[in-house]
Chain A
């Protein structure tokens, strides 16, 4: 209890407090001068406006892509359901800065592969698309955020009890009328809440906004805050801008929670029958086609660009004469920076995932299984990082640790703190979900039979929640191994991570090694997911022989 509370204080409460303090500390003591500058200087409020515009468009398009796909998967006889699900998962797993880099390869105004193709080969120059624009930024971001809408919508659509719809049909409502008047209102809260999550995530992504926004002169909150750390760093201003950022994020999340709270009545139908699927007739191929299009844009095109780039001697020459593995050899065996980055990222992600799940498990257990004083507060504080975009977390940690005598800045440890703090909510949620599955009476039965507290946790609780915790571990590991938004402010040459290395190499123009490193990053993610899947199954309850 005390340990978990202390961890939260060091990881979240104190850094956030020092963010508040430095935002109101001016030249001569307490002042609002930083906030005033944010409100007056176009440089800063324009970043805010750009972030909001980006978030709004991204939310809208996430809805337009995620909802139809969810509906197709959950409620229709559209073919290729597995393929559609895979498209959504891969889109979610792919780091957005990789998509951004791939799209620059394809649609860079002058040298983009597809742009060159339409301009030079097809001779249709008006079709050239400049990726370095708000539309380009929205496109790249949406490819990562539409799964938020998709996932929430699918689970809502699947949990609507068939009897709700059947009651409408028996009263004479047709398929479409039922869909519009019964199903749509029932799932609307979940869909809206997914859209808001897409918004929150979209505006927090540093990588894509730096790679696409900066060359297009579209500064957003993360990139503007980042620029404030150029020499000489302007801590007060960064803190003020960060707090503005936090305010939007928290506002959106509060709305999102409110919507999600209304969602609960969807589940009320309980263990009712599965809803029937709508037969789309020939239209099902059109819906399937839409899914294929999303797959091409979100997965096939960027991966094609990255894989081919990573395997050729130099971009621009024909693929087959040009095939080579030197870039992989370079990043894996020759270049010490990328080697160190890979080791660091693996280490950081594994340790951060373990700690986040461990702390999450303790907090979840205290919340659900004890009557300890302040357990609700503990639970709330553990959710605070959800409202802190990565770069804000970094700003807060820098300001807190610089004010202490511990030289943490630039070490792996401060990165670890940032990761654990950022992903504690995921750990808590996973542990909570797992513990909720385990009825308290299972533990009480052990106690009354004479088992001590420790024996009960070891023999009953832990085995029962192990696979849930493992799922939580991967849930943290995957974003941690591709973390860029906080790392970009916290790294040093010795504590560099894969995502930062990708970004730096890209900035310096090493297109091919970047692609190779990007693919390696994806392979690590894929291995982690696969491992969790395989191991999770083995660790779960033994399969029944009755089936």
Chain B
């Protein structure tokens, strides 16, 4: 129902300090579930509050469906934006019943009271809280309060719903359940969700698109699969889940692919990240990034390919749905590997290590 265009958005809270969000450009299409993901303090909440109109940008604009709502000179106040927002602590008003909480936004919009009762009831039905109308927030569990907060935001039929880590106060089980409910709710209502989290698993599970932010700067914006498998830089790769970095040298570059040789002699043809910087030229030292589930182990034996990477098992952890091994390979690099639980090695075993080159990426080494 609503498209958000963010252009050059910058906000600095303290004069001279680092910007909380710097030169953010983002196009959020209608009817999407978009997640702002990043480590603590990276500027996610700031971005959300900028969209809501609680914070005035220092530069840049925020437009919804082509209408500029925020700029450095003028900000449409929150109450005239027709958005909804769910806060991390839910902010369910403790002095109002469930019904009064949900009805508030309708009253603020001067909806006739005959209509209010029906809409609140339908909303309660939707979030599974029918029959709780007269309860006070103190008589609800955390998960129920969270649903009141959702219902309160959705009942006014906002074009955009902003959610700031709404699941972080819930226990693991409930979080999982609310996750699927949220996604389901978004599909059913067609509202554009802008969702803030620092939990990459949550972001991957929920989103149509993920915006990874670090240090106030947008690092990558794309669908979960792309952000996970084709991270734009080393920081994103690291943040999106466990990953190994192996010292590597570039032998040749041709278009989107590069021939590289990993320390220890293994040669591969790998994909270059989009807009690869000039540092990734022939002859330069780089890191090969590969996720643990994309590494394969084999018993080393006589039929070994010449130039294959070999290593020794240093540690084993049984995870239930997988075995996790740490293998020490040439140069002393410790490689984290996940295999099917049926594939078993013992500490000290010699192994051959193989990668699927299409699942690997190269980055310039950290700290250089």
Contact = CB atoms under 8 A, between A and B. Distances in A.
- A and B physically associate: yes
Interface in A232-268: none
Contact of A441 (B82, B91, B156): B91
B108 A442 contact: no
Most B CB within 10 A of own CB, among A442, A446, A450, A460: A450
A459 B104 CA distance: 9
A450 B105 CA distance: 6
A460 B93 contact: yes
Contacts of B108: 446, 449-452, 455
Interface string A504-547: 00000000000000000000000000000000000001101110
A141 B156 CA distance: 61
Interface string A443-471: 01111111110010001100110000000
A342 to B, nearest CB: 37
B139 A544 contact: yes
A439 interface: yes
A464 B104 contact: no
B296 to A, nearest CB: 48
A444 B91 contact: yes
Interface residues of A, number: 22
A449 to B, nearest CB: 3
Contacts of A447: 54, 77-79
A518 to B, nearest CB: 41
Interface in B90-138: 91, 93-95, 104-105, 108-109, 136, 138
A439 B93 CA distance: 10
Most B CB within 10 A of own CB, among A439, A442, A546: A442
Contacts of A545: 139
B89 interface: yes
B340 to A, nearest CB: 45
A442 B91 contact: yes
Contact of A448 (B83, B88, B109, B139): B83
A441 B81 contact: no
B50 to A, nearest CB: 13
A507 B87 CA distance: 63
A306 B7 CA distance: 77
B136 A445 contact: no
Contacts of B156: 449-450
Given A441-B87, A455-B108, A541-B136, A449 B153 contact: yes
A452 B95 CA distance: 19
List 7 A-B pairs, minimum CB-CB distance, nearest first: A449-B105, A441-B91, A450-B108, A441-B87, A447-B78, A451-B108, A445-B91
Given A450-B79, A541-B95, 13 more contacts: A444-B87, A445-B152, A449-B104, A449-B105, A449-B152, A449-B153, A450-B108, A450-B156, A451-B104, A452-B79, A455-B108, A464-B94, A544-B139
28 contacts: A439-B89, A441-B89, A441-B91, A444-B52, A444-B85, A444-B91, A445-B93, A445-B149, A446-B108, A447-B78, A448-B79, A448-B84, A448-B153, A448-B162, A449-B84, A450-B79, A450-B108, A450-B156, A451-B108, A452-B79, A452-B108, A455-B108, A541-B95, A541-B136, A542-B95, A544-B139, A545-B139, A546-B138
